[in-house]
Chains A and B, each alone.
Chain A
C-alpha cells in the first residue's frame, strides 16, 4: 500500500507542480494588471490635477501683477469737466482695456511660471471660474482703438488726451482747455481771424479733431506743415474736410469761409493752442 501510495504520489507530483506554477503565473499576471490599472489611474489623476493648478497659478499671478504694476499703468479715466455728462460708451471701453491688460498679464505670468520651480505650486481643486481659452472673446481691431478726444487726469490740473496731448494751466483763461473752447464759437468782434471748430461746441468732438490732427502731424506727409521756434512747434494739418469756419472780423467780412486745416501750437506734447484755419 505504501509503495502504491508512493507510486501514486510520485506519479501525481508533476501534475501538482504544473497546477502550482499555473496559479503562480496567473496571480502574477493579475498583480501586474492591477499594478498597471493603479498606475494608469494615478497618471490620469495627476494629469487632471495639473491643469487647474496652472490656471489658478495664472489667476494668482494676474492679481499680484495688478497690484504691483497693472493698476498704476492704467489710471482711471475721468472727465475734464465734472459737470459734463458721463459718457456711457467709455465704460465698455475701459473694460476692454482692462481685459486686454489682464490677458497680456496672463500670458506674461504663464510664461514666467514655466520657468519657476514646481515646489512653489500649490495643488488646488479644479474650481476655476475662468472660461476655457477657446471661448475667450478677443476684442476686434476697431474695439482696441481708443476713442480720440478722451481725457485722463494726470494731476496738477493737467489732462492728457487719447493721442497724448497735455492740457494744463495757462493762457488768459487760466487753463488750456478753456482757451481751446474759445474756438468753439465765433467772436465776430475779434480783430483778424478767429477759427471756429465745427461740432456745435461739443468739447469731446473738438478734442477728437485736435487729436486726429496731432496724430496726422506725427505721421507727417504732404498734408502737414511744420514750423519750429525753440521749444515751440507749430503744425498746420490739412484735414481734407471741413473742420469749422473762419470767424472773427476778417472771417465775417468774407462770409465765414470753411476751414479745412487745424493749426496746433505745442511745447513738446503740451498744448498752447489749437484752432481751425
Chain B
C-alpha cells in the first residue's frame, strides 16, 4: 500500500491511496480509523463513510468490496498524486 502520511485524525494510521469499486475514484483512506479525504490536502476535514461497507463518496461504488483496491504506482501516477507519496507499506 502506498501511503501519503499519517492520519491527522487518529494520529496512528497510514493514509493509503484507495480506488473505489465502481468508477475508479481515488481517495485517501486511513488504514486505522477509515477517515477519508478526497484530495491530498490533509488540512481539510475528513469524511467518515458509513461502516462497514464504506460507500464511495463520489459514486455508487464502495471502498471495501472487490474490485476496490489500494492503488498501484501506475494508477497513482495517472491521477497525478505521485508527488504526495511518502512510501509503501509491507
Contacts and interface: CB of A to CB of B under 8 A. Distances in A.
A232 B48 contact: yes
A171 B34 contact: yes
A263 B12 contact: yes
Contacts of B9: 229, 232, 234, 265
A79 interface: no
Nearest to B87: A191
Interface stretch (A1-9, A199-207, A266-274): A266-274
Contacts of B90: 189
Contacts of B33: 232, 265, 272-273
B31 A229 contact: no
Given A170-B51, A272-B51, A192 B14 contact: yes
Interface residues of B, number: 22
Contacts of B45: 229
Nearest to A236: B11
Nearest to A267: B51
B60 interface: no
A169 interface: yes
Given A170-B52, A230-B48, A190 B10 contact: no
Q: Which of A171, A193, A270, A277 has the most CB of B within 10 A?
A: A171
A232 B34 CA distance: 11
Given A191-B3, A191-B87, A273-B13, 15 more contacts: A169-B51, A172-B31, A190-B14, A191-B6, A191-B14, A192-B12, A193-B12, A231-B48, A232-B9, A232-B33, A263-B12, A270-B51, A273-B10, A273-B33, A277-B12
Interface of B: 3, 6, 9-14, 31-35, 45-46, 48, 51-52, 86-87, 89-90
The 4 closest A-B pairs by CB, nearest first: A170-B52, A169-B52, A192-B6, A170-B51
15 contacts: A170-B34, A170-B51, A171-B52, A189-B89, A189-B90, A191-B3, A192-B14, A229-B46, A229-B48, A267-B48, A273-B10, A273-B12, A275-B12, A275-B32, A277-B11
